[in-house]
Structure 1
Amino acid sequence: MKPKQRRVLQAVLYELFAILFVGPVLGWLFDEPMGSSLALAVVLSTIALSWNYVFNALFERWEARQPVRGRSWQRRLAHGAGFEGGLTLLLVPVMAGWLDTTAWQAFLANLGLLLFFFFYAVGFTWAFDRVFGLPASAAAAREG
């Protein structure tokens, strides 16, 4: 699969599963009507989808320059931490505005979701790689 197609498929599947989980959880956590929480989940996922594409492109560019190929658990954890850290900076202001709360309160309220998404990102990427194979940036060099 071409790198761009792979990144798009990965990002779309990641966000689809996230919306199906996050919409109902947001409604429950923030005592919001389901319509509002699903709309917020779609907005957050749209932002996350864009960040996913940009972050993975940057990560794969960095990864291609590394002398050790493959995706160890340490590399997967670094990927998850980098992705979620950047996403937090983007989403907290949106959540604070949508929920009419302070950025600090939105961040605190988000800790549970952020923790879930850290593990979800690592697990999803692992499962995606198992189903679709490693990208060229992480595949072992073939002897020719």
Structure 2
Amino acid sequence: MRTVRDRLRHAIGFELIGLLIAAPLASWLTGVALSHMGPLALFFSVLATLWNYVYNLGFDRLLQQRQGHTRKSLWQRVWHAIGFEGGLLTVALPAMAWWLEISLLEALVLDLGFVLFYLVYAFVYNLLYDRVFPIPVQTAQGI
């Protein structure tokens, strides 16, 4: 199992490297200056991180209250993911449309681009992270 320090290194590295790639890439693809796209990407990075914490805490508390534990079934995981993304979209789309002076539909398309980027990026980042910082081997007693 990973330590708190390792999880912090993972999360901070994920966000920083993601921003260093996503902001210039989005700027290039949209033709929006990096000086204008960068702050938006930073806002979304912070927003997603805070939302992740708040949403997961609330979801776990709800599970604990309703079923006495926080283990999720497959369907609970599906609804968890939908709820997370839906909640993030309710803030992200209007903010993106306003900041970039585009329609909500254009913001949705751009957001889908971010989602696709981060889907691939998360896979690659986590694969490389696990190779660079392998999970310590634990004995059966330490599990």
Aligned to 2:66: none
* Mapped contact 1:7–1:53 kept (Cα < 8 A): no
Q: CA deviation at 1:114?
A: 1.4
**Runs of 5+ in structure 2 lacking a partner?**
64-69, 72-76
Q: 1:56 to 1:133 in 2, by over 3 A?
A: farther
Runs of 4+ in 1 over 6 A off after TM superposition: 55-60
Q: CA deviation at 1:95?
A: 1.2
Residues of 1 paired with 2:58 and 2:129: CA distance? 18
| Larger helix fraction of residues | 2
* More divergent stretch after superposition (87-96 vs 33-42): 87-96
Q: What TM-score results when the alignment is normalised by the length of structure 1?
A: 0.63
* Mapped contact 1:23–1:38 kept (Cα < 8 A): yes
Deviation track 1:81-115 (CA, whole Å, cap 9, x = no partner) reads: 93983644543232122112232220112222211
Aligned to 1:46: 46
- Opposite residue 142 of structure 1, the aligned amino acid is A
Is 1:129 aligned to 2:130, yes or no? Answer: yes
Aligned to 1:72: none
Deviation track 1:49-102 (CA, whole Å, cap 9, x = no partner) reads: 324555777899x9xx76xxxxxxxxxxx79x9398364454323212211223
* Mapped contact 1:19–1:41 kept (Cα < 8 A): yes
Q: 1:124 to 1:54 in 2, by over 3 A?
A: farther
* More divergent stretch after superposition (87-96 vs 18-27): 87-96
Residues of 2 paired with 1:122 and 1:59: CA distance? 24
**Runs of 5+ in structure 1 lacking a partner?**
67-77
Aligned to 1:8: 8
Q: What TM-score results when the alignment is normalised by the length of structure 2?
A: 0.63
Q: 1:132 to 1:56 in 2, by over 3 A?
A: farther
- Opposite residue 118 of structure 1, the aligned amino acid is L
Q: CA deviation at 1:23?
A: 1.7
- Opposite residue 34 of structure 1, the aligned amino acid is L
* Mapped contact 1:23–1:37 kept (Cα < 8 A): yes
Aligned to 1:35: 35
Q: 1:55 to 1:18 in 2, by over 3 A?
A: farther
Instruction: Count matched residues.
Output: 129
Aligned to 1:101: 102
| Cα-Cα RMSD | 4.0
Residues of 1 paired with 2:10 and 2:94: CA distance? 26
